[in-house]
């Protein structure tokens, strides 16, 4: 399910330069169009918890994938940038619900295993994103019609999601969760516990937003940045692949790294990798340094979002599922704010300057790592 979710929209990303040209969009307009997706996610994301309680996380995730796949095909027929933004809004709304549902189910599986495996689930999302990015880059290089390309991937990955449903966990959502320990009965103690949880939730939300800013840089602007460095259409799509490929490696090895070095150290080193890698890439621009910079940024934030989600889901003093839902929602704020801001800065100065936000996100991750 994670792999399928990662692969579907990743097929669209390498076609951004084509969409930008065909619809006559500026950088700022493209950023606004891309931002419609996290805007839809913000609107729908807080309803995910209710949907999961009503229909179970496995069913919500599967039906969401099927609807998401169908909606991606509309990207190919959008006649104007405004229509494309409307499609992106719907995609974001569906993706937000899918995201919470698949993470809720993944954490059920993790509780059954009794050890950390959530980074590996997100690693398989990244495998899907790399697969989708490669398919999209190949389709762009072969000049495959966008409608044929997206319809084919929609059918393929919808079928995968439907088959996956039969292997998912049955029963109520809290079936694997151990009973919560008794909390202090005094009013003061209860308020103190909730206050601490809210402050920690805010810190985890900001860390998740930093991860969103870095991921969005590769997804929304990587292909355009390489195009500005005179890369071919097929090569330009590899910026996204480089970021997601390195993120895949980081997530598949992240559980062992956290067990060995501790979560705080992994987050801090990751922030340093992100800031340094993109800093060098922007300071010495070339196709090679850009691909290396996006790769180091992806490796740096590989475990950041899974760690924030897992920690939020386990916070005491909050109702079940609320922490995960809130951090997922704040994550979308990062995805919403990043594209138009980078696009505006790019139009006023250059995309190279706009991408300095990735460096800032890496520095902020280092600063907040002591809260982990």
Flag the least confident range among 103-112, 218-227, 242-251, 311-320.
311-320
* Dist CA 7 CA 311 (whole Å): 26
Q: Which of 6-20, 79-93, 210-224 has the highest mean pLDDT?
A: 79-93
Which residues are CB-neighbours of 1 under 8 A, at least 6 positions away?
61, 62, 65, 102, 105, 161, 164, 168
What confidence score (pLDDT) does residue 259 get?
Answer: 82
- pLDDT-based confidence at residue 1 (cuts at 50, 70, 90): very high
- pLDDT-based confidence at residue 177 (cuts at 50, 70, 90): low
What confidence score (pLDDT) does residue 307 get?
Answer: 82
* Dist CA 26 CA 237 (whole Å): 19
318 or 1, higher pLDDT: 1
What confidence score (pLDDT) does residue 192 get?
Answer: 61
- pLDDT-based confidence at residue 153 (cuts at 50, 70, 90): very high
What confidence score (pLDDT) does residue 178 get?
Answer: 67
What confidence score (pLDDT) does residue 187 get?
Answer: 44
Mean pLDDT for 302-311 is 85
* Dist CA 243 CA 221 (whole Å): 12
Residues of the chain with pLDDT > 70: what percent? 94
Q: Where are the chain's structural domains?
A: 2-171+192-371
96 or 322, higher pLDDT: 96
320 or 243, higher pLDDT: 243
What confidence score (pLDDT) does residue 344 get?
Answer: 86
pLDDT of 147 strictly over 50: yes
What confidence score (pLDDT) does residue 129 get?
Answer: 84
What confidence score (pLDDT) does residue 186 get?
Answer: 40
Flag the least confident range among 8-17, 68-77, 168-177.
168-177
Average pLDDT, the chain: 85
What are the CA-CA distances from residue 11 to residues 14, 99, 132, 335, 371 (Å)? 7, 18, 5, 18, 36
Any idea which fold 2-171+192-371 has? Answer: Growth Hormone; Chain: A; (1.20.1250)
Contact between 68 and 90 (Cβ < 8 Å): no
Residues of the chain with pLDDT > 90: what percent? 29
What confidence score (pLDDT) does residue 347 get?
Answer: 86
3 state SS for the chain: CHHHHHHHHHCCHHHHHHHHHHCCCCHHHHHHHHHHHHHHHHHHHCCHHHHHHHHCHHHHHHHHHHHHHHHHHHHHHCCCHHHHHHHHHHHHHHHHHHHHHHHHHHHHHHHHHCCCCHHHHHHHHHHHHHHHHHHHHHHHHCCCCHHHHHHHHHHHHHHHHHHHHCCCCCCCCCCCCCCCCCCCCCHHHHHHHHHHHHHHHHHHHHHHHHHHHHHHHHHHHHHHHHHHCCCCHHHHCHHHHHHHHHHHHHHHHHHHHHHHHCHHHHHHHHHHHHHHHHHHHHHCCCHHHHHHHHHHHHHHCCCHHHHHHHHHHCCCCCCCCHHHHHHHHHHHHHHHHHHHHHHHHHHHCCHHHHCHHHHHHHHHHHHHHHHC
Contact between 27 and 76 (Cβ < 8 Å): no
Residue 311 is encoded by which pair of tokens? Answer: 């920690």
* Dist CA 56 CA 317 (whole Å): 23
What confidence score (pLDDT) does residue 179 get?
Answer: 59
pLDDT tens sequence across 23-39: 988 878 888 888 888 88
Report which of 74, 72, 86 is spatially closest to residue 11, judged by C-alpha positions: 72
What confidence score (pLDDT) does residue 185 get?
Answer: 42
């Amino acid at each position: 399910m994670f792999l399928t979710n990662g692969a579907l929209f990743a097929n669209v990303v390498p076609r951004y330069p084509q969409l930008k040209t065909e619809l006559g969009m500026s950088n700022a307009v493209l950023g606004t169009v891309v931002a419609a997706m996290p805007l839809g996610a913000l609107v729908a994301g807080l309803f995910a918890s209710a949907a999961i309680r009503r229909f179970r996380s496995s069913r919500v995730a599967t039906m969401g994938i099927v609807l998401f796949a169908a909606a991606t095909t509309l990207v190919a027929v959008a006649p104007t940038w405004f229509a494309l933004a409307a499609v992106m809004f719907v995609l974001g709304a569906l993706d937000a619900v899918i995201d919470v549902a698949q993470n809720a189910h993944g954490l059920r599986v993790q509780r059954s295993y009794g050890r950390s495996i959530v980074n590996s689930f997100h690693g398989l999302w990244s495998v899907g994103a790399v697969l989708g990015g490669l398919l999209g880059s190949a389709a762009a290089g072969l000049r495959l019609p966008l409608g044929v390309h997206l319809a084919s991937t929609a059918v393929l990955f919808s079928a995968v999601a439907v088959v996956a449903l039969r292997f998912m966990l049955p029963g109520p959502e809290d079936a694997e969760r151990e009973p919560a320990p008794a909390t202090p009965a005094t009013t003061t103690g209860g308020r103190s516990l909730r206050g601490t949880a809210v402050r920690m939730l805010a810190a985890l939300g900001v860390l998740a937003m930093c991860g969103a800013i870095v991921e969005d840089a590769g997804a929304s602007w990587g292909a355009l940045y390489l195009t500005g460095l005179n890369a071919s259409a097929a090569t330009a799509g590899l910026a996204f692949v480089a970021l997601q490929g390195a993120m895949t490696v980081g997530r598949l090895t992240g559980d062992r790294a956290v067990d060995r070095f501790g979560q705080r150290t992994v987050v801090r080193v990751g922030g340093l990798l992100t800031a340094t890698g993109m800093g060098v890439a922007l300071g010495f621009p070339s196709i090679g340094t850009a691909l290396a910079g996006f790769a180091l940024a992806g490796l740096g934030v590989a475990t950041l979002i899974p760690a924030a989600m897992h920690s939020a889901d386990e916070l005491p003093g909050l109702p079940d599922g609320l922490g995960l839902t809130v951090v997922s929602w704040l994550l979308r704020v990062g995805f919403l704010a990043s594209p138009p801001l980078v696009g505006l800065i790019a139009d006023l100065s250059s995309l190279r300057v706009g991408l300095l936000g990735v460096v800032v996100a890496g520095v902020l991750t280092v600063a907040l790592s002591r809260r982990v």
